[in-house]
Amino acid sequence: MLRVFDIEYDKRAERGKVINGTIMNYRILASDMDGTMLTDDKSISKETLRAVTEFREAGGYLIISSGRPYPAMTGYLAELKPNAPMVTYNGAKIVDPKDGHALFEEGMITDDAIRIMEEGEKRGHTVIVWTNDILYGNEINKNMEIYVFNTDIVPYKYESREFFRNKSVTKIILNDAPEKIAVTMKEMKEAGLKGTTWATSGPEYLEFYSDKVSKAVAVDRVAGMLGLGAEDVCAVGDGRNDLEMIKYASLGVAMQNAPEDVREQADYVTDSNERDGVGKLIRAKIL
């Protein structure tokens, strides 16, 4: 299901604004959250927050670009104060940071969604399903508790895959031990999916969403809302679901903690999420 909300966001974009005698090299910073903006304990370091604040106050636009849904990020918004639409669900939904109002949304093909759930259940994975910003799982187990850690989200157990037949599923995640997820990722090519793509957001999470969306497509859409383009974007992430966004941006940046293949395809590698990587990126390459 496709829903497009035509809005006039904020197009007052001054290129090359100067702060403390330094020209801002990129007007947009598109940043992943987990493993990138967030440390391993799911907090934002003081130095990274200070650098992000200086970037935003200098006239830059912060685009949060995450696999998370809006409800799982609201706890960080008071600190980060994003001043551009947020990319959620790996690009399947773009929302206004002020209230989570959807500006763009595209769900999965229903038959694909049900097939993925079937495969996940058969393989013994924890199946995590998002629809209308509500979280469901085949089991409310330890894996689900870890997934919702540091959020106020309450998951619900679904009794049947058919429950989702008439719903727009935004994203599905299969969660299990990394070695089991690696096998499933390879074998999903034989599942007969017709309109779905997938990528790992961490070794234990395999995420599925419409093949019409990606973080790159969504960031480009948001840049257009701001009257800017790819040449104005610096994008940073740590996962394979960030790779298209990294390759799209004028400056594509991988975290030091990213997998080797992601680091190899980036233009620049910054420090890890545990060592103020985003903050150091802003100091070194943007301001």
- Is 72 in the same domain as 101? yes
Q: Which domain holds residue 100?
A: 17-106+213-286
Question: Is residue 6 in some structural domain?
Answer: no
- Is 194 in the same domain as 231? no
CATH of the domain at 94: 3.40.50.1000
Which ranges of 130-174 would DSSP assign to H, the alpha helix?
142-147
- Is 171 in the same domain as 122? yes
Q: Return the sign of the alpha-carbon dihedral for residues 109, 165, 190, 245.
A: positive
24-to-4, 21, 62, 217 alpha-carbon distances in Å:
32, 10, 13, 24
- Is 202 in the same domain as 218? no
- Which residue, 186, 210, 234, sits at the end of a domain? 210
125-to-10, 64, 106, 205, 213 alpha-carbon distances in Å:
43, 29, 25, 10, 25
Helix (H) or strand (E) holding 3: strand 2-4
Question: Is residue 79 in some structural domain?
Answer: yes
pLDDT at 22: 56
Residue 36 in contact with residue 237, Cβ under 8 Å? yes
pLDDT at 137: 98
Question: Is residue 11 in some structural domain?
Answer: no
Can you give the pTM of this predicted structure? Answer: 0.85
Q: 230-249: b or e for each residue (b if 16 or more CB lie within 10 Å)?
A: eebbbbbbbbbbbbbbbebb
Residue 181 in contact with residue 205, Cβ under 8 Å? yes
pLDDT in tens, the chain (287 residues): 333 334 344 444 444 555 445 578 999 999 999 999 999 999 999 999 999 999 999 999 999 999 999 999 999 999 999 999 999 999 999 999 999 999 999 999 999 999 999 999 999 999 999 999 999 999 999 999 999 987 889 999 999 999 999 999 999 999 999 999 999 999 999 999 999 999 988 899 999 999 999 999 999 999 999 999 999 999 999 999 999 999 999 999 999 999 999 999 999 999 999 999 999 999 999 99
- DSSP character for 240? G
Minimal CA–CA distance to 5: which of 107, 110, 106? Answer: 106
Residue with tokens 């013994």: 124
- Is 123 in the same domain as 173? yes
